[in-house]
Chains A and B, each alone.
Chain A
Amino acid sequence: MRKGDVCHTTPMRRDIGLRQRYRAEMRFRAYGITAISIGMFFLGVLLWSVFSKGYSAFWQTSLTLNIRFDAAIIDPKNIRDHDSQVLFTANYPLLVRNALAEKLGVPSDDHLALHEVSHMFSSSVRVQLRDLVLGHPQLIGGIQKVTFLASADIDSAFKKQINLAGSETRRKISNRQIEWMHRLSADGSLHRAFNTGLFTLTASNRPETSGLGVALVGSLYMMLIVLVLSLPIGVAAAVYLEEYTHKNRFTDLVEVNINNLASVPSIVFGLLGLAVFVNFFGLPRSTSIVGGLVLTLMTLPTIIIATRSALRAVPPSIRSAALGIGASKTQTVFHHVLPLAVPGIMTGTIIGLAHALGETAPLLLIGMVAFVANYPITPMDPATALPVQIYMWANEAERAFVERTSGAIIVLLVFLILMNIASIVLRRRFERRW
């Protein structure tokens, strides 16, 4: 074949099944997009459902009324000067009921109506007025403007969470109460205010008087314990494994243990806490100290792994440079390598803490599902935690608790998002590439 001939033959085009192959390609892409959309869709639905149910928990319906502190009701026998007990046990809700009934024009002999009136405000008025009277005994006999919580049903109705159009028998709030509610709202005595109680109140069986106070304190204590214990231990362990040893039996053992611990189900740590800290060491159940210890054990592997990878990212040239000018191994590590790894360690620690903050299962086992009405003073006092409080509220049947639960979830998510943002900012700000 002469070379000139080649010029005139156009090469044969082969059929390599392009159309089919491109159709497969498109299908494949479609699968990918579908998968991502499903993930994003559920993220959206999850967040939307929590926020739409929960944002209203940050507002609470309150009533402001002039209340007459009728001495005939508080202290009918007029013995309060020598028996302080009478002020404790007085029928304070009756004061509020009378004030409200008067405002609404309900006759004092219509017992059915009065009963409905007394269901419009929260039973927490008893404690609220009692404390008021105990603090200012001169109020008795006088009139004082007081703001107090509406009952959970009124709160739900006012937030339009109850279908008011439906049949009266199928809802917890009567037509008459609705009418009152509108009247009170029109003249401004019924109003919405920011719900500080959500953050300050403690456990209660009434939704409108239960709050996250104890849970927030408990979670704070536990996070502090986790930070104080797991950071030094975790960093020390990682430094030892990464900088001081060569591969040997011991490091292999530790390595395997770290990897296994990282994947042990969290509930098993709860069992460990129960058997070791509560049963063996005799630490009190339901306390932040036990919770903090259990969470520390869970967080340690995370911090060790993060620290090790941060140390590994420091180039060997830095170590050689320090060793080369006569620094000892320990000086090299603590003066040069560790400071360079700090951003990575911080990021890992924050992520570990965020996990610990959201962890629920082990805390259930060490008894943090407790009805704690008093603020814990020390970590040795009974407390709950934020996620555990969510769990307890989620198990309550009442409508208003769903709102509280979602509100608590929002609080938890806000904390977690703040922590995550902090770790991302740290990573971006200090990230160094060699």
Chain B
Amino acid sequence: MSGPSVIFSVLLLGSGGFLVSCGWARIIEARGTRMHSRSHYYGWWTFLIVVIPSLVFFIFWSICTNLYLENKASSSCHTTAGDMAQSCSVLVKMAHDLAHKLVLDDHFRNSQEDHDAVLQNILGKRKILFSLDNKEHIVSIAIEWAQRIKKFHMIGTIITFVLAILSCFVGIFSVSPERRSRNRVECVTVFWLMLASSIVILITVGIVLSMLFQTISFFQSVSLANFFFGTVWDPRFSAVDSEEVVGQFGLIPLLAGTLYIAFIAMLFAIPVGLFSAIYLAEYTVPWLRGIIKPLLEILAGIPTIVYGFFALAVLGPFLHDLSIFLASGHAFIMAQSALTAGLVMGIMLVPFVSSLSDDIITAVPRSLRDGSFGLGATQSETIWRVILPAAFPGIVASLLLTASRAIGETMIVVLAAGVVARLTINPFEAMTTITVKIVNQLTGDFEFNSPQTLVAFALGMTLLVLTLLMNIVALYVVRKYREQYE
């Protein structure tokens, strides 16, 4: 029986238990006894106790046996092969694939003998070419592995069914007028709800831990100073013969590029976004607002890859040509430049700034506006001197959020900023950012445990810490100044 069919049968059994318990409860009710809960709650309770424990067990069992077998296979591979760990992991992977294909094969499942023929058949079908010397070895490991999988799977399936059937009986026989089934079912529901909300925490923990472990192992091969204070980024991918050369992992030029491009973007986005928001909130007639706001929302909904393509295919070449025209033949703006990336990112951020600020500005109570108008202030005076100061903390927080977006933005810079890690203040030259380098280090083939790969996690950690800091500051600003609002 395959995994899905086990799960399906358990669900079927649960549904059976549901129907029986439900019917039983109805019968009791029909005899005139008053039940504590409505009949379907008895059904649900049976369903839950059938399904949950057995499936939890089954999944847990499958994962554990898998891990155990993997472990066992790799140790037997080590003892017999005895060669380099690198190739051994390849062998285990091959044996793993083979074993799982064997398990799925009908002939193998039905016949106890003649593994070799089945194996040949599979190898022929899959066109797996064995050029390795220790083919025999792998095949024997794979066969053993597949047999173990079969055995463990059988044990797991049997236990699962026993559990399910037992709890089915328990559920059905415990149907009685005194039983508070509704409360129990609701208890389970609430527990599931709580579990779901803890997943959010789990994700955060996952992010932090995965980053942390890889970062730590990165710093075992590269010094902290090299990373944090190095001004050269040159993580040459180590050739086989020169494993000693680690390369230079200077964060500074990447950080500088990131902040510089984000700065250019904010320089464009803040005035444009803020003034748009003010104009939308304070001046426009409703019908115009009804047109412009959705348009800005469209701008916000466009994926960043589209902006990246716009920068690469339209704005970059345009600025390049413009610079040729202005400087009569000498192109002082590169096709990929910090300016292009920053500008396009700024365009992308405008709707964020404006919609966040718009919300904050319209949240300023009307009484403040009235107070100011009642004293004879013009509209712009009211905005400058009353509304903006009142909305200031909120606006600062929203700008910080926008800035953290600018720092974490990837696709625009990947396509428009360039890949050269360079420390410069000339916005017309190509610069690179943390996100670009993360992408560069992790696309294509790589070895997971080399510093060239792990540095991406260190960079990611830096990025995470930067954005989290900005968030915390934003939250702090909002909390600190909240009492000033009404």
Flag if A35 contacts B276 (CB, 8 Å): yes
Hey, which chain A residues are within 8 Å of B321, CB to CB?
none
Which one of A236, A259, A390 lies within 8 Å of B309 (CB-CB)? A390
B374 at interface, CB cutoff 8 A: no
Query: B interface, by DSSP: helix, strand, loop or mixed?
Result: helix
A66 at interface, CB cutoff 8 A: no
Query: Complex Cα distance A265/B410, Å?
Result: 9
Hey, which chain B residues are within 8 Å of A234, CB to CB?
196
Q: Look across to chain B and name the residue whose beta carbon is closest to the beta carbon of A334.
A: B189
A121 to chain B, nearest CB (A): 27
Which one of A258, A268, A330, A367 lies within 8 Å of B207 (CB-CB)? A268
Q: Look across to chain B and name the residue whose beta carbon is closest to the beta carbon of A34.
A: B275
Residue among A45, A265, A297, A304 with max Cβ neighbours from chain B (10 Å):
A265
Q: What would 9 A/B residue contacts be, using CB atoms closer than 8 Å? A: A36-B275, A233-B196, A234-B196, A237-B197, A254-B198, A257-B201, A328-B182, A354-B301, A365-B443
Query: Complex Cα distance A412/B439, Å?
Result: 22
Flag if A361 contacts B411 (CB, 8 Å): yes
Q: Look across to chain B and name the residue whose beta carbon is closest to the beta carbon of A44.
A: B295
With A274-B442, A394-B415 already in contact, the answer to whether A22 and B378 are too (CB < 8 A) is yes
With A32-B283, A35-B272 already in contact, the answer to whether A257 and B471 are too (CB < 8 A) is no
Query: Complex Cα distance A22/B380, Å?
Result: 9
Flag if B308 contacts A394 (CB, 8 Å): yes
A14 to chain B, nearest CB (A): 11
Q: Look across to chain A and name the residue whose beta carbon is closest to the beta carbon of B404.
A: A263
A21 at interface, CB cutoff 8 A: yes
**Residues in B lying within 8 Å of A, measured CB to CB:** 182-183, 186, 189-190, 192-201, 203-204, 206-207, 210-211, 213-214, 271-276, 278-280, 283, 292, 294-299, 301-310, 312-314, 347, 350-351, 354, 376, 378-381, 383-384, 401, 404-405, 407-411, 414-415, 435, 438-439, 442-443, 448, 456-457, 460, 463-464, 467-468, 471, 475
Hey, which chain A residues are within 8 Å of B312, CB to CB?
394
With A50-B310, A265-B410, A272-B210 already in contact, the answer to whether A420 and B298 are too (CB < 8 A) is yes
With A265-B467, A412-B306 already in contact, the answer to whether A24 and B279 are too (CB < 8 A) is no
Hey, which chain B residues are within 8 Å of A357, CB to CB?
303
Hey, which chain A residues are within 8 Å of B182, CB to CB?
328
Flag if A241 contacts B351 (CB, 8 Å): no
Flag if B464 contacts A39 (CB, 8 Å): no
With A32-B283, A263-B467, A265-B467 already in contact, the answer to whether A413 and B306 are too (CB < 8 A) is yes
Query: Complex Cα distance A270/B214, Å?
Result: 14
Give 10 nearest A-B pairs by CB, closest first.
Answer: A265-B408, A358-B303, A32-B279, A35-B275, A236-B196, A275-B210, A240-B193, A361-B410, A237-B197, A28-B380
* Cβ proximity bits A262-280 to B, threshold 8 Å, 1 near / 0 not: 0111111111101110011
Residue among B207, B276, B305, B464 with max Cβ neighbours from chain A (10 Å):
B305
With A276-B206, A364-B439, A413-B302 already in contact, the answer to whether A236 and B276 are too (CB < 8 A) is no
**Residues in A lying within 8 Å of B, measured CB to CB:** 16, 21-22, 24-25, 28-29, 31-36, 38-40, 42-43, 45-46, 49-50, 53, 232-234, 236-241, 244, 253-254, 257-261, 263-272, 274-276, 279-280, 297, 300-301, 304, 328-330, 354, 357-361, 364-365, 367, 369, 387, 390-391, 394-395, 402, 405-406, 409, 412-413, 416-417, 420, 424
A225 to chain B, nearest CB (A): 15
Flag if A271 contacts B279 (CB, 8 Å): no
Which one of B204, B404, B407, B435 lies within 8 Å of A257 (CB-CB)? B204
Hey, which chain A residues are within 8 Å of B307, CB to CB?
46
Q: A25-B378, A264-B408, A329-B186 are in contact. List 17 more A-B contacts (CB 8 A).
A: A31-B271, A32-B283, A45-B314, A236-B196, A236-B197, A241-B197, A263-B404, A275-B211, A275-B213, A275-B457, A279-B448, A280-B210, A391-B414, A409-B306, A412-B303, A412-B306, A420-B301
Flag if A39 contacts B354 (CB, 8 Å): yes
Residue among B309, B408, B475 with max Cβ neighbours from chain A (10 Å):
B309
B420 to chain A, nearest CB (A): 17
Query: Complex Cα distance A423/B199, Å?
Result: 27
Hey, which chain A residues are within 8 Å of B274, CB to CB?
35
Query: Complex Cα distance A369/B456, Å?
Result: 17
Flag if A391 contacts B411 (CB, 8 Å): yes
With A260-B471, A271-B460, A276-B210 already in contact, the answer to whether A265 and B409 are too (CB < 8 A) is yes
Flag if A263 contacts B401 (CB, 8 Å): yes
With A46-B306, A268-B408 already in contact, the answer to whether A254 and B201 are too (CB < 8 A) is yes
Flag if A261 contacts B448 (CB, 8 Å): no
Query: Complex Cα distance A367/B441, Å?
Result: 12
Query: Complex Cα distance A360/B303, Å?
Result: 8
B409 to chain A, nearest CB (A): 7
Q: Look across to chain A and name the residue whose beta carbon is closest to the beta carbon of B456.
A: A271
Query: Complex Cα distance A315/B299, Å?
Result: 33
Flag if A28 contacts B383 (CB, 8 Å): yes
Q: Look across to chain A and name the residue whose beta carbon is closest to the beta carbon of B343.
A: A42
Query: Complex Cα distance A53/B317, Å?
Result: 15
Which one of A50, A259, A304, A406 lies within 8 Å of B475 (CB-CB)? A259
Hey, which chain A residues are within 8 Å of B201, CB to CB?
253-254, 257
Flag if B438 contacts A365 (CB, 8 Å): yes
Hey, which chain B residues are within 8 Å of A359, CB to CB?
303
Hey, which chain B residues are within 8 Å of A280, CB to CB?
210
Flag if B210 contacts A271 (CB, 8 Å): yes
Flag if B313 contacts A53 (CB, 8 Å): yes
Hey, which chain B residues are within 8 Å of A391, CB to CB?
305, 308, 411, 414-415
B476 to chain A, nearest CB (A): 12
Hey, which chain B residues are within 8 Å of A420, CB to CB?
297-298, 301
Which one of A21, A244, A267, A300 lies within 8 Å of B438 (CB-CB)? A267
A285 to chain B, nearest CB (A): 10
Which one of B278, B303, B401, B475 lies within 8 Å of A416 (CB-CB)? B303
Flag if A49 contacts B313 (CB, 8 Å): yes
Hey, which chain A residues are within 8 Å of B192, CB to CB?
236
Query: Complex Cα distance A297/B204, Å?
Result: 10
Flag if A416 contacts B301 (CB, 8 Å): yes
B345 to chain A, nearest CB (A): 12
Hey, which chain B residues are within 8 Å of A367, CB to CB?
443
Which one of A38, A46, A360, A365 lies within 8 Å of B310 (CB-CB)? A46
Hey, which chain B residues are within 8 Å of A360, CB to CB?
303-305, 410-411
Flag if A265 contacts B435 (CB, 8 Å): yes
Which one of B211, B297, B378, B408 lies within 8 Å of A266 (CB-CB)? B408
A240 to chain B, nearest CB (A): 4
A329 to chain B, nearest CB (A): 7
B135 to chain A, nearest CB (A): 24
Query: Complex Cα distance A269/B378, Å?
Result: 48
Hey, which chain B residues are within 8 Å of A257, CB to CB?
200-201, 203-204
Flag if B439 contacts A35 (CB, 8 Å): no
Q: Look across to chain A and name the residue whose beta carbon is closest to the beta carbon of B93.
A: A282
Hey, which chain A residues are within 8 Å of B448, CB to CB?
279
Hey, which chain A residues are within 8 Å of B200, CB to CB?
237, 254, 257-258, 261, 300-301, 304
Flag if A266 contacts B410 (CB, 8 Å): yes
Flag if B275 contacts A32 (CB, 8 Å): yes
B464 to chain A, nearest CB (A): 5
With A32-B275, A364-B443 already in contact, the answer to whether A239 and B304 are too (CB < 8 A) is no
Query: Complex Cα distance A104/B123, Å?
Result: 50
Hey, which chain B residues are within 8 Å of A330, CB to CB?
186, 189-190
Hey, which chain B residues are within 8 Å of A36, CB to CB?
275-276, 279-280, 292
Flag if A25 contacts B380 (CB, 8 Å): yes
Query: Complex Cα distance A274/B211, Å?
Result: 10
Residue among A354, A357, A405 with max Cβ neighbours from chain B (10 Å):
A405
Which one of B294, B305, B314, B457 lies within 8 Å of A49 (CB-CB)? B314
A411 to chain B, nearest CB (A): 11
Hey, which chain A residues are within 8 Å of B304, CB to CB?
358, 360-361
